[in-house]
Amino acid sequence: MSKIIGIIAGSLRKESFSKKIANGILQMAPAGFEFKIIPIDELPIYNQDFDDHHKVPASYLTFRNAVQSVNGIIFVTPEHNRSIPAALKNALDVGSRPYGKSVWTGKPGAVFSNSPGNIGGFGANHHLRQCLVFLNIPVMQQPEVYIQKSNELFDEKGDLKAGDTKEFIAKAVNAYIDWFNKNA
Ligand code: FNR
């Protein structure tokens, strides 16, 4: 049976470069693997009252089930003020609760950060890694993936253009699959 890898893009923006990179990765699934996007767009800001008072938004249940059903996760995060976007942090929080029922635990992960700037989302990459330690998501250490000039990577259809960055992303996906096979 195929292993399923979820891809989470940490941006709500329709034309998000992170979403476009995630879509590019979607097409790189090797034999024996299925990649699927797990959207975070519809998640209200986490409020513990939802869980405590049986008023859990349907979008929380959909999201938690989607994460639960995958074997591993690739995070494609942009950088907001040298950290991860609030929308991505919110998705991590939603998946981590109710207490004791986190859906993240033990799913091998990878962090791909990106930015139109030159630093490739370094700050977001490492802030995300801090959260993933606590959530008990083992994360691929190498290669580190900092994708710069994200605004220059796509053709008019929004697909990744052939070139060094696309090749680098494909190599990083392969490295993740190798690492996943050793760690899952
Ligand atoms: C940004 N941006 C940004 N870029 C960066 O390299 N480092 C940063 O710290 C920030 N900070 C930041 C804060 C906020 C609130 C916004 C809206 C943007 C720019 C960011 O990289 C750019 O908008 C990307 O296009 C966002 O990713 P998506 O939406 O294209 O995936």
Q: Report yes or no: 90 and 49 within 8 Å, Cβ to Cβ.
A: no
> Which residue has the CA at smallest separation from atom 10 of ligand 1?
80
CATH of the domain at 49: 3.40.50.360
Structural domain count of the chain: 1
Q: What are phi and psi of 76, to 5 degrees?
A: -115, 100
The list of the chain residues with pLDDT below 50 reads none
Work out the end-to-end distance of the chain between its first and last CA atoms, rounded to an integer number of angstroms: 14
> Which residue has the CA at smallest separation from atom 15 of ligand 1?
80
- DSSP class of 178: H
Share in percent of the chain as helix, strand, coil (round to 5): 40, 15, 45
80: containing domain: 3-183
Q: Which of 111, 37, 109 is nearest to 73 (CA)?
A: 109
**Model pLDDT, residue 182:** 92
**Model pLDDT, residue 184:** 78
**Model pLDDT, residue 1:** 84
The whole-model pTM stands at 0.98
Query: Each residue of 108-150: pLDDT tens digit?
Result: 999 999 999 999 999 999 999 999 999 999 999 999 999 999 9
Q: How far is CA 70 from the centre of its chain?
A: 12
| Cα dist from 19 to 46, 55, 77, 99, 181, whole Å | 22, 30, 9, 30, 25
Q: How many of the other CB atoms lie within 10 Å of CB of 1?
A: 5
Confirm whether the ipTM is greater than 0.90: yes
Distance CA 181, CA 150 (A): 29
Residues having CB closer than 6 A to ligand 1 are 11, 13, 16-18, 78-82, 115-117, 119, 121
Cis peptide before 138 (omega within 30 of 0): no
**Model pLDDT, residue 107:** 97
Q: Ligand 1 mean position to 155 CA, how many Å?
A: 20
Exposure of 36 in the CB half-sphere (CA atoms within 13 A): 14
Q: Ligand 1 mean position to 98 CA, how many Å?
A: 30
**Model pLDDT, residue 46:** 98
**Model pLDDT, residue 155:** 98
Q: Ligand 1 mean position to 67 CA, how many Å?
A: 25
Q: Ligand 1 mean position to 74 CA, how many Å?
A: 19
Q: Which atom of ligand 1 is nearest to the CA of 151?
A: 25
Q: Ligand 1 mean position to 117 CA, how many Å?
A: 9
> Which residue has the CA at smallest separation from atom 29 of ligand 1?
16
